[in-house]
Amino acid sequence: MSVVIEPMVAADAQRCAELESVLFDGDDPWSPEAFLEALAAGHHYLSAREGRSLIGYVGLARVGSEAEIHTLAVDPEHQRRGIGRALLRAILVHTQGATVFLEVRTDNDSAIRLYRSEGFDVIGIRRGYYRPSGVDAFTMRRQAHQ
Ligand SMILES: CC(C)(COP(=O)(O)OP(=O)(O)OC[C@H]1O[C@@H](n2cnc3c(N)ncnc32)[C@H](O)[C@@H]1OP(=O)(O)O)[C@@H](O)C(=O)NCCC(=O)NCCS
């Protein structure tokens, strides 16, 4: 079955929050309400589906001439299939020439490797950024011209 990437809808919020609690346990996972607020605010959120199952998602906000990746996640049972990269590339289409920033745990080697390979560089570190875990974050940036 093929994976389809399409705009997230309100009905996806519950499933996204379920994946959040699995993938970001200890780092203040988002609730369904947080996803609904992001959608209501007009931010760009995409879902990856296989059949009727939501197996990944990504979210980005435009802030003036800059953009911020809010989240990127793939169901553990579907990781390493290229879905994370496909979601990231699809959301970067919405940056319309903006410089893109994100935060990532300094111990998240998989995500850091993915972001580097898509043009992001580490530009700083935020000590104790994640709560309640207290883990540090790298700030990464992808320049506008890419
Ligand atoms: C990070 C994440 C979204 C990647 O999704 P994915 O669908 O598994 O990634 P892909 O299959 O598209 O792989 C893309 C690249 O990521 C890197 N990568 C992904 N998983 C990796 C792993 N287990 N080990 C090493 N590198 C890995 C590789 O560079 C890979 O490229 P390659 O296959 O050419 O080597 C996924 O691991 C995830 O959901 N992690 C938990 C949530 C999270 O950490 N999100 C990021 C928050 S900032």
Spacing, Cα 111 to ligand 1 middle (Å): 5
| Residues 3, 133: Cα–Cα separation, whole Å | 33
* Number of structural domains in the chain: 1
143 pocket-lining for ligand 1 (C-beta < 6 Å): no
Q: Distances from the Cα of 12 to the Cαs of 4, 68, 85, 136, in angstroms?
A: 14, 21, 20, 30
Least confident of 13-22, 66-75, 90-99, 107-116: 90-99
CATH number at residue 31: 3.40.630.30
Residues in Cβ contact with 63 at an 8 Å cutoff, skipping those fewer than 6 apart: none
- DSSP string of 1-21? --EEEEE--GGGHHHHHHHHH
Q: 92 lies in which domain range?
A: 3-142
Closest ligand 1 atom to 104 CA = 48
pLDDT of 146 reads: 57
pLDDT bin (cut points 50, 70, 90) of residue 7 is: very high
pLDDT of 106 strictly over 80 = yes
Exposure of 59 by Cβ count < 10 A (0-12 exposed, 13-18 middle, 19+ buried)?
Answer: buried
Spacing, Cα 72 to ligand 1 middle (Å): 10
pTM of the model: 0.97
Q: Distances from the Cα of 21 to the Cαs of 30, 33, 93, 117, in angstroms?
A: 8, 14, 28, 27
pLDDT of 144 reads: 87
Closest ligand 1 atom to 73 CA = 39
Average pLDDT over residues 48-74: 95
The residues that are catalytic are 103, 115
